[in-house]
Amino acid sequence: MQRRRFLQSLALGSATALTGVPLARAAGSHALPPKLKITKIRYYAAPGYTKPLFNQARGIVEVETDGGLIGIGEGGSKDTIEQCAQMIIGENPFRIEHLWQYLYRGMFYPPGREKLHALGAIEMALWDLKGKALGVPVYELLGGATRDYVECYATGYRPSKAKTEEERARDCIEAGFRSYRIGPTGGNGDTPFDFYENAKKTIDLSRRVNEAVGGSGKWAIDLHTRFDTQEAIKICQALEELEPYFVEDIVRSENPGIYRTLRPMLKVPIAVGEQFGDRWDSNELIEDHLIDYTRFTLPNTGGIHEFQKLAAICETHYVGMIPHFTGPLSVAALVHVLGASSPVRCLMELAGGEPERPAYFNEDLLNFKNGKLYLNPNPGLGVTFDPKKATFIMEVKENTKYPHPILRAPDGSIHNW
């Protein structure tokens, strides 16, 4: 009975937001409980994780409501989470897109990629909270499943006892993965990077791995933006006959327009985007068919709904999606959004060939089997979080003391100030 009342209250909140007239009053019903409000947002660090890399951040976010419901997200830093959190205390957590627009447009400058990471973490928690409130998995809220599982590729393969890259690649494919990704030779430690020599070695390594796995796109390569244009072109042209699944980050990402020059010169499938954020970072690359696969990921895009909008752009222009790995909860969220997005061609990356299972999250967060990730049918993102096993950093429970410049249209939608 209490659950029915709670679901009715959610319907009431939605109807009021859309029509301006409370459903209970319009239908002559008895008064229902009020809408939930965000009361606290907490931020934790993953213990023992020291990598400062932006797209692999492991910050954990809790969004708590006055009804006791808590949603969990992942990403951001203390400063960026704190600024975003201070803006939405007291707000309705179920107006996810509205809050996203408020956080995205609520300052004079558009958010940079670091702030998008925080926005994505909080938005992820709001989806988790809403799914838990309704008792359904997030992929059902996004439209329902469009695929039974998401194929994976591995970067490295820890389960293998092999001593060579070729043997590890073979073991990975035999374990059920769709593809095995390698990197270029050189570029680690303090040894100077010889562009000419490492281009030759990278081509040779690619040929050996291709032969080991039997071709047919069972391997891919990330050039890690290490090469200048001339060596990058040389490598890609040499790899054309080998037909890799994709060649990633051929050159540096500061100037996406370089792909207008590269595209006519290359026939390998091009993957770009792990360093990008929202749709305005990559829409021209997709719309102008300058790449074959996007690499943007969660929470970097700014959230689940933004990722779904990017998926729609990809579907429109026949571009596939191969998101970069991030933290374990973000990977779980990617399964929900890829599993419920348009059925564009997609792969997911598992670093080391194994899903991460940190002690502060539940063991069954990721449903992984035979090189594939399956949809998690549990409510929300399917996550439970033990804060005692993480490192508490801060809690925000008050709205910002100063006003934010917001411009609202007559219909209540948010526009730029």
Give me 85's structure tokens: 């959190």
Give the per-residue pLDDT at 362: 96
Q: Between 327 and 417, whose confidence is greater?
A: 327
- The whole-model pTM stands at 0.89
23 CB-side CA count, 13 A: 16
In a domain, 18, yes or no: no
Give the per-residue pLDDT at 401: 67
In a domain, 159, yes or no: yes
- Phi and psi angles of residue 153, each rounded to the nearest 5 degrees, phi first: -125, 160
Read off the pLDDT band of 3 (50, 70, 90): very low
Q: How far apart are CA 166 and CA 297, in angstroms?
A: 28
Q: Can you give the residue range of the structural domain that contains 81?
A: 36-134+387-415
Give the per-residue pLDDT at 271: 97
In a domain, 5, yes or no: no
In a domain, 256, yes or no: yes
Together in a domain, 199 and 230: yes
Contact 366, 335 (CB under 8 A): yes
In a domain, 58, yes or no: yes
Read off the pLDDT band of 31 (50, 70, 90): very low
Read off the pLDDT band of 403 (50, 70, 90): low
- Three-state SS sequence of the chain: CHHHHHHHHHHHHHHHHHHCCCHHHHHCCCCCCCCCCEEEEEEEECCCCCCCCHHHCCCEEEEEECCCCEEEEECCCHHHHHHHHHHHCCCCCCCHHHHHHHHHHCCCCCCCHHHHHHHHHHHHHHHHHHHHHHCCEHHHHCCCCCCCEEEEEEECCCCCCCCCHHHHHHHHHHCCCCEEEECCCCCCCCCCCCHHHHHHHHHHHHHHHHHHHCCCCCEEEECCCCCCHHHHHHHHHHHHHHCCCCEECCCCCCCCCHHHHHHHHCCCCEEECCCCCCHHHHHHHHHCCCCCEECCCCCCCCCHHHHHHHHHHHHHCCCEECCCCCCHHHHHHHHHHHHHCCCCCECEEEECCCCCCCCCECHHHCEEECCEEECCCCCECCCCECHHHCEEEEEECCCCCCCCCCEECCCCCEECC
Q: Tell me the Cα Rg of the chain.
A: 23
262: domain CATH number?
Answer: 3.20.20.120
Together in a domain, 192 and 230: yes
In a domain, 93, yes or no: yes
Q: How far apart are CA 85 and CA 43, in angstroms?
A: 10
Q: How far apart are CA 54 and CA 224, in angstroms?
A: 15
User: Does the pLDDT at position 267 exceed 90?
Assistant: yes
Read off the pLDDT band of 402 (50, 70, 90): low
Together in a domain, 118 and 147: no
Together in a domain, 183 and 204: yes
Least confident span in 183-192, 252-261, 334-343:
183-192
69: domain CATH number?
Answer: 3.30.390.10
User: How does pLDDT run across 84-102, given as a tens digit for each residue?
Assistant: 999 999 999 999 999 999 9
User: How does pLDDT run across 98-131, given as a tens digit for each residue?
Assistant: 999 999 988 878 888 889 999 999 999 999 999 9
- Number of structural domains (the chain) is 2
Q: How far apart are CA 172 and CA 183, in angstroms?
A: 15
Together in a domain, 209 and 87: no
Together in a domain, 220 and 320: yes
In a domain, 9, yes or no: no
Together in a domain, 172 and 256: yes
Together in a domain, 104 and 232: no
Together in a domain, 326 and 398: no
User: How does pLDDT run across 223-255, given as a tens digit for each residue?
Assistant: 999 999 999 999 999 999 999 999 999 999 888
In a domain, 8, yes or no: no
User: Does the pLDDT at position 203 exceed 50?
Assistant: yes
CB within 8 Å of 1: residues ≥ 6 apart: none
Give the per-residue pLDDT at 15: 37
CB atoms < 10 A from the CB of 26, how many?
11
Together in a domain, 170 and 87: no
Together in a domain, 311 and 331: yes
Together in a domain, 197 and 337: yes
